Structure formats: C-alpha cells, structure tokens
C-alpha cells in the first residue's frame, strides 16, 4: 500500500497496473503497492488469454454416445 502523509495522517492507496518492462507484473491484474500515490506514469499492459471451448464438443460426443448405446 502507498503511504501518503495528509495533515499528520497517512493515507493508503493501491495502484493498479504495472509497467510493460515489468514482465508478468504488467497489465490490469498487477497491483503496485510500493510507490507513493504521488507517482505518475503512463503504462500500457495486457495479459494474453486463450480460451478454448472444449465443453461443447465434449457434451456433443457424450450425447451421441448415449444415443448410440441406448442410454439416452
């Protein structure tokens, strides 16, 4: 958390996002907790996601098997 003195009190903020050069710490899913809240950067990051849809083909195969074997 970031500590910022404010009238004798400390405020804490979690900064979301990391630098591109941070490797796996880049993008929206990275929470930066080691910089002051006065720190200002422009960072663009992304996390690649590959979503494979195996459930549909598996369900069709099971349904076909149940019909062929008389279980349906």
For residues 30-39, average pLDDT: 68
pLDDT of residue 52: 64
pLDDT of residue 24: 63
Task: Measure the CA–CA gap between 26 and 70, rounded to whole angstroms.
Answer: 52
Report the SS3 class of residue 27.
coil
pTM for this structure?
0.25
pLDDT digits (tens, 9 = 90+) for 51-71: 666 555 566 666 776 667 776
Examine the pLDDT at 18 and tell me if it is beyond 70.
no
């Amino acid at each position: 958390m970031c500590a910022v003195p404010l009238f004798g009190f400390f405020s804490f903020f979690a900064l979301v996002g990391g630098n591109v050069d941070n490797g796996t710490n880049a993008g929206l899913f990275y929470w930066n907790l080691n910089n002051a809240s006065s720190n200002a950067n422009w960072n663009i990051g992304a996390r690649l996601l590959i979503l494979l849809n195996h459930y549909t083909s598996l369900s069709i195969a099971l349904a076909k098997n149940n019909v062929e074997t008389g279980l349906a």
